[in-house]
Amino acid sequence: MIKNLALLSLAFVAISLSSCKKNNTTPTPDTTASLVATVDGVVTEFNVNLKGWEYGTSPDNRVTAIQGKTSDGTMLAISLLETPVAGKTYSDADTNDGNKPIIIYQKPTSTVEYFNDHNASNVPSVTITSVTSTTLDGTFKGRLIKDPATDKTDTILITNGKFHISNLIHNP
């Protein structure tokens, strides 16, 4: 239940950030940050409008999100269902939903989003390597799937993912 709420929340935030006007609660792009990964064998930078922020979904629940785009508009978003902890690996193989990351990939010419492939041999994972009050660093990888109910072959493989957020925003 919490994972579904966070997934819907992240999807809403991802869509609204890419389409809304700047306001006081929307983080501004982090110009010294980086988000890069090998996507289906191609090194890809998601450094356009790259943002990292932490926000509350309820009084006791926090979500940490990172979102960036390529120059052609392909979007990658990563979400953790808590305040990140240095040295911790969040894995889709974990039995606790709160420790599972959510990774979303969307091509600019499509409304189709790729999400965690829970049954993959290369399950999505995110490892936090460093965190301060304003910075966040880590690595990530995993296989994403378009729709496990209707098409189990349309997948995206992400390897060698790295991120550095230099201006992590904390929203209430």
pLDDT score, position 18: 41
Confidence of residue 25 (pLDDT cuts 50, 70, 90): low
The span from the CA of 12 to the CA of 140, in Å, is: 22
pLDDT in tens, 132-149: 999 999 999 999 998 777
The 3-class SS string of 33-71 reads: CEEEEEECCEEEECCEEEEEEEEEEECCEEEEEEEEECC
Confidence of residue 31 (pLDDT cuts 50, 70, 90): confident
Distance of CA 123 to the CA centre of its chain: 14
| Of 32, 29, 98, residue with least CA distance to 66 | 29
Is residue 54 predicted with pLDDT exceeding 70? yes
Q: Tokens for 107, please give them.
A: 């091509």
pLDDT in tens, 79-94: 999 999 999 999 999 9
User: Structural domain boundaries of the chain?
Assistant: 2-19+32-170
Q: Give the 3-state secondary structure of residue 7.
A: helix
Q: Kindly report which listed range (15-29, 61-75, 97-111, 132-146) carries the lowest average pLDDT score.
A: 15-29
